[in-house]
């Protein structure tokens, strides 16, 4: 290596704190940009720039780096990332996000173990605390995220568990994990450290396994927070300020998002994590077992009604994602606009399988942001709305949340679609939603059920409107 190259490397290393400061500012701007769909692309660009600065700067700070290993890992990671970005369908995005969180947790565990095994450095009291916290948060994040991945992807091995034995087992695992962590802290015993790690992995699995499907959006956002704190823990272990800052930003923003979503469900975070809406138990809530009747109609009927309405609100749910119907919905939206209909979208904070799921789908289809309204912005407009089209949503429009004190979701704010003059619901069947709850909205006289794949039904509506019009 020539002297000029060495001088450049030394200059980067000497000014690493300034580069990290620039990166930290860019990460903050990233979060600011991601707070709105209109600025999300710019926010992502800030994030990519910040990460590039962080990686390059850290590379020059490394002591005796194994260049081929570092470069190989970066190339492999980039290739896998680009492959997944191109191949993962939007319907699979929630479980993909959960899987990414698991990798962050696993890396925290691997780095903690490697640091403990490094006998060339004596671990101070503070260092042992950092290793203890970073390792068990990482281990919990890893196993909990793997289970969330399986649950969101409907894997057979990720079944919800329940029973009176669950909470005692959770408590025993948690206490035992802390006990072995304490033993490691006092004695630096490696077996104790390994036991703590193993118990944290088991605890993470048992912590998420009892949580019902209706609470998974909160779980995903919380695991995002945990992955951030795990990354911050890695930063303390490695003495890397950039990683501490970035991890703390992710951790705090994920925690805030979890709080917002819990507020939208009118529940506490502790209730979600250690109470939850159990799918089996919840399914019986408020159901007297009496036969119920509903009206069904065709996509042609729905197209005719919407084309002759003045105001239409579309409520997207997971059914839209499952059917990959967002582009067809965009076409329906544009066609109704051309017919002079006032069309808007109503978004519930916990619709879908992850935070912002519906917003992402509609953004992908280039639906104008001005016509995408949050629950608090549009709820008062439902009584004056001619037609509401619900696409694969259940729990977020369930009037039991307001009308049935015995319902597990009583008190949860909902999109008040039942107040509209006419309600049309696209569903594959009359099966319950992800939370396992029946929906009285489907049995109202004003409601018309349209059974079938969301994309096919919306495309038929488009054809009907194109052929008829006003």
Report the pLDDT averaged over residues 189-204.
93
Please, are residues 352 and 435 in contact by the beta-carbon 8 Å criterion? no
pLDDT confidence of residue 278: 42
Tens of pLDDT, residue by residue over 62-89, are 666 566 777 788 888 889 888 887 887 7
Domain boundaries, the chain: 15-280, 299-467
> Hey, what are 436's tokens?
């396992």
Closest CA to 16 of 193, 241, 182: 241
What does pLDDT average to over the chain? 84
Section 143-153 average pLDDT: 88
Active-site positions? 395
Q: pLDDT at residue 280 above 80?
A: no
pLDDT of residue 433: 67
Q: What is the mean pLDDT of residues 338-346?
A: 95
Query: Would you state the pLDDT for residue 284?
Result: 45
Q: What is the pLDDT of residue 64?
A: 61
Neighbours of 410 (CB within 10 A): 15
Tell me, rounded to whole angstroms, the distance of Cα 442 from its chain centroid: 27
- Judged by average pLDDT, the poorest of 68-77, 103-112, 329-338, 396-405 is 68-77
Determine the Cα–Cα distance for residues 70 and 78; give it in Å rounded to an integer.
Answer: 12
Average pLDDT estimate for 122-129: 81
**How would you label 203-240 residue by residue, b for 16+ Cβ within 10 Å and e otherwise?**
bbbbbbbbbbbbbbbbbbbbbbbbbbbbbbbbbbbbeb
The pLDDT tens digits for 290-341 are 567 899 999 999 999 999 999 999 999 988 988 889 999 999 999 999 999 9
Residue 469, pLDDT score = 47
Helices (H) and strands (E) in the chain, counts: 19, 6
Instruction: State the Cα torsion 316-322-326-328 to the nearest 10°.
Output: -110
387, 420 Cβ separation under 8 angstroms: yes
Considering the four listed CATH numbers 3.30.70.270, 3.40.50.300, 3.30.43.10, 3.40.50.1220, the one that applies to the domain covering 299-467 is 3.40.50.1220
Condensed to tens digits (0 to 9), the pLDDT of residues 15-43 reads: 888 888 898 899 888 888 877 767 778 88
Residue 470 clears pLDDT 60, i.e. is over it: no
Task: Give me the helix-helix angle, 216-238 and 125-152, nearest 10°.
Answer: 150
**How many Å apart are CA 202 and CA 95, to the nearest integer?**
20
* Encoded tokens for 360: 């992402």
DSSP string over 281-325 = HHTTTT---------B--HHHHHHHHHT-SEEEEEE-HHHHHTT-
pTM to 2 decimals? 0.74
């Amino acid at each position: 290596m020539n002297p000029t190259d060495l001088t450049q490397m030394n200059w980067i290393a000497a000014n690493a704190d300034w580069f990290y400061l620039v990166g930290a500012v860019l990460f903050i701007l990233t979060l600011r940009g991601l707070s709105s769909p209109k600025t999300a692309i710019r926010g992502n660009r800030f994030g990519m720039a910040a990460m590039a600065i962080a990686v390059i700067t850290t590379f020059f700070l490394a002591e005796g780096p194994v260049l081929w290993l570092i470069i190989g890992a970066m190339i492999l990671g980039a290739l896998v990332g680009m492959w997944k970005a191109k191949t993962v369908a939007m319907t699979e995005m929630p479980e993909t996000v959960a899987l990414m969180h698991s990798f962050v947790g696993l890396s925290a565990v691997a780095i903690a173990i490697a640091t403990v095994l490094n006998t060339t450095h004596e671990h101070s009291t503070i260092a042992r605390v950092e290793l203890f916290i970073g390792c068990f948060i990482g281990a919990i994040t890893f196993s909990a995220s793997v289970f969330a991945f399986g649950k969101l992807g409907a894997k057979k091995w990720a079944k919800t568990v329940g029973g009176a034995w669950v909470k005692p087992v959770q408590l025993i695992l948690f206490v035992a994990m802390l006990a072995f962590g304490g033993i490691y802290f006092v004695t630096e015993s490696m077996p104790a450290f390994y036991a703590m790690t193993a118990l944290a992995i088991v605890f993470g699995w048992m912590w998420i396994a009892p949580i019902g499907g209706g609470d998974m959006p909160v779980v995903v956002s919380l695991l995002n927070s945990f992955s951030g704190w795990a990354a911050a823990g890695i930063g303390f272990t490695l003495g890397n300020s950039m990683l501490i800052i970035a991890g703390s930003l992710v951790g705090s923003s994920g925690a805030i998002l979890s709080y917002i979503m819990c507020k939208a469900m009118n529940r506490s975070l502790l209730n979600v994590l250690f109470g939850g809406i159990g799918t089996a138990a919840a399914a019986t809530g408020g159901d007297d077992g009496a036969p119920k009747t509903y009206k069904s109609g065709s996509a042609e009927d729905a197209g005719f009604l919407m084309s002759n309405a003045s105001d239409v609100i579309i409520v997207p749910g997971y059914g839209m994602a499952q059917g990959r119907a967002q582009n067809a919905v965009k076409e329906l939206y544009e066609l109704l606009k051309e017919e002079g209909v006032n069309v808007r979208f109503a978004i519930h904070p916990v619709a879908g399988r992850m935070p912002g799921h519906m917003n992402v789908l509609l953004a992908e289809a280039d639906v104008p942001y001005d016509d995408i309204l949050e629950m608090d912005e549009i709820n008062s407009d439902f009584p004056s709305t001619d037609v509401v089209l619900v696409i694969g949503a259940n729990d977020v429009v369930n009037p039991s949340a307001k009308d049935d004190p015995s319902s597990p979701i009583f008190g949860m704010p909902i999109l008040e679609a039942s107040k509209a003059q006419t309600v049309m619901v696209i569903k594959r069947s009359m099966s319950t939603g992800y939370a396992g709850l029946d929906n009285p909205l489907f049995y109202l006289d004003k409601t018309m059920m349209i059974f079938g794949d969301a994309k096919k039904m919306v495309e038929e509506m488009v054809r009907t409107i194109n052929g008829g019009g006003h």
